[in-house]
Structure 1
Amino acid sequence: MSENISRRMLNLPLELFLCIMQELYAPDVLSLGQTCRAIRSAVNQRDVWEAM
């Protein structure tokens, strides 16, 4: 993922970012969590995993 796209994703409201992650498959969420600390923190939100 390019740095530009990562920055734009991090500027989304957390609630919207969580909604997007809830639409992904678990392996994709785990991969997304490896991109940076801020996204890893969002990936570790209980709401993401409860919705899967």
Structure 2
Amino acid sequence: MLEGLKLACERGFRQVEVETDNALLLEILHFGLSCVNNIAKVRLLHTWIAKD
């Protein structure tokens, strides 16, 4: 997901719709839970989502 968001941003897309079947990832992104092993990637995803 992170690579896809990076690619979309590099190509000038500022609003994208992302689909996933990963319920844990959705919960983490939606509620900001930090109970996962790879916190760095979650933080990067939050950064890319928050980009203007």
Superposition TM-score, scaled by structure 2 size: 0.29
Structure scoring higher RCO (CA < 8 A, sep ≥ 6) equals 2
Structure with the greater alpha carbon radius of gyration:
2
* Bigger proportion of residues as helix: 1
Superposition TM-score, scaled by structure 1 size: 0.29
